[in-house]
């Protein structure tokens, strides 16, 4: 084997290749570019990413560990269904943490974050006007991430994100519904106003309602996409 051929083979099987495949597939699942119940072909994934079998296998194992795919021995691999019971638990976790986040911010301990939150809101308005759901979703998440950082709880954001794979897909499925982006912007504006005015109880009340909407709408989403959901905690 020539040095050039050997280097190419190393790249196709390198740990970095597995991480790249993992991150790409994770984004596609969470954004619903790969819908729940989609069957994944390992040979197609190897061709798509230009890697060998090992990175694909390792990436799928890691996705299975975090609940984004189901691997059936001797049968195949599919994108996991959205578990309603797990989504409820994820919502409970995020709401519990974030209520404390807005309480801290409304207590006035970090007033500088208000300017960053206002800038994030402007981004959301721009993306909503353009109908760019992908960037709007990123700006929505950025708004909440900024709140965590402003409350001195930035690492908790990473923890909550890792535990939000089911509720995140419900949110993403809900996003294109008529009026949803407008409602999100209105919610964020109200939360920010309450934080600015140091109205602790109102900030928490608005936040609680804001984080409850997509799960409350899940029954309508299940009617539209009946094959996407499961009532089990394991798929």
Residue range 177-198: mean pLDDT, rounded: 96
Tell me the pLDDT band of 4, cut-offs 50, 70 and 90.
very low
Could you tell me if 51 and 17 are in contact, meaning their C-beta atoms sit under 8 angstroms apart? yes
Please name the residues in contact with 168: beta carbons below 8 A apart, sequence gap of 6 or more: 30
Phi, psi of 229 (to 5 degrees): -115, 155
What proportion of the chain, given as a percentage, has pLDDT over 90?
87
What is the structure's pLDDT at 7?
Answer: 43
CA separation, residue 112 to residues 4, 98, 115, 186, 218 (Å): 53, 19, 6, 21, 36
Decide the pairing of beta strands 69-72 and 82-83.
unpaired
Tell me the pLDDT band of 12, cut-offs 50, 70 and 90.
low
Which is nearest to 185 in space by CA: 215, 145, 134, 143? 143
Residue range 58-81: mean pLDDT, rounded: 92
* The two three-digit tokens of residue 158, written as one number: 């990473």
What is the structure's pLDDT at 1?
Answer: 42
Residue 9, pLDDT > 50, answer: no
Q: Any bridge partners for residue 69, and if so which?
A: 79
Collapse the DSSP code of 110 into the 3-class scheme (helix H, G, I; strand E, B; otherwise coil) and give the result.
Answer: coil
Q: What is the mean pLDDT of the chain?
A: 91
Spatial separation of the C-alpha atoms in residues 43 and 41, rounded to whole Å: 5
What is residue 51's DSSP assignment? -
pLDDT one-digit tens code per residue, 147-164 = 999 999 999 999 999 999
* The two three-digit tokens of residue 60, written as one number: 């799928």
Please name the residues in contact with 25: beta carbons below 8 A apart, sequence gap of 6 or more: 34, 40, 45, 59, 60, 63, 68, 69
What is the structure's pLDDT at 6?
Answer: 41
**Helical H runs in 31-177?**
42-49, 53-65, 84-106, 113-130, 133-150, 154-162, 165-174
pLDDT one-digit tens code per residue, 112-121 = 899 999 999 9
Residue 127, pLDDT > 90, answer: yes
What is residue 235's DSSP assignment? -
Spatial separation of the C-alpha atoms in residues 54 and 22, rounded to whole Å: 12
Could you tell me if 69 and 79 are in contact, meaning their C-beta atoms sit under 8 angstroms apart? yes
- Give Dmax (Cα) for the chain: 69
Residue range 1-18: mean pLDDT, rounded: 56
What proportion of the chain, given as a percentage, has pLDDT over 70?
92
Domains observed in the chain: 3-80 (1.10.10.10), 83-230 (1.20.120.530)
Does the pTM exceed 0.75? yes
Which is nearest to 117 in space by CA: 100, 101, 134? 101
pLDDT one-digit tens code per residue, 76-109 = 899 999 999 999 999 999 999 999 999 999 998 6
Tell me the pLDDT band of 111, cut-offs 50, 70 and 90.
confident
């Amino acid at each position: 084997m020539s040095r050039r051929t050997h280097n190419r083979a190393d790249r196709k099987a390198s740990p970095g290749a597995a991480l790249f495949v993992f991150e790409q597939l994770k984004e596609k699942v969470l954004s619903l570019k790969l819908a729940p119940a989609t069957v994944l072909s390992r040979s197609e994934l190897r061709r798509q990413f230009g890697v060998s079998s090992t990175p694909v296998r390792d990436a799928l194992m890691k996705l299975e560990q975090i609940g984004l795919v189901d691997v059936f021995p001797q049968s195949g691999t599919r994108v996991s269904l959205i578990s309603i019971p797990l989504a409820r638990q994820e919502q409970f976790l995020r709401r519990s943490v974030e209520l404390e986040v807005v309480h801290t911010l409304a207590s006035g301990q970090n007033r500088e974050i208000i300017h960053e939150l206002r800038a994030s809101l402007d981004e959301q308005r721009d993306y909503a006007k353009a109908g760019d759901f992908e960037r709007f979703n990123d700006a929505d998440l950025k708004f909440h991430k900024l709140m965590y950082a402003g409350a001195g709880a930035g690492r908790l954001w990473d923890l909550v994100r890792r535990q939000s794979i089911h509720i995140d897909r419900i949110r993403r499925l809900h996003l294109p519904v008529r009026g949803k982006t407008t409602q999100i912007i209105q919610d964020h504006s109200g939360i920010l106003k309450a934080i600015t005015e140091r109205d602790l109880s109102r900030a928490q009340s608005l936040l609680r309602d804001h984080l409850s909407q997509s799960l409350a709408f899940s029954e309508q989403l299940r009617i539209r996409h009946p094959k996407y959901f499961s009532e089990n905690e394991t798929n």
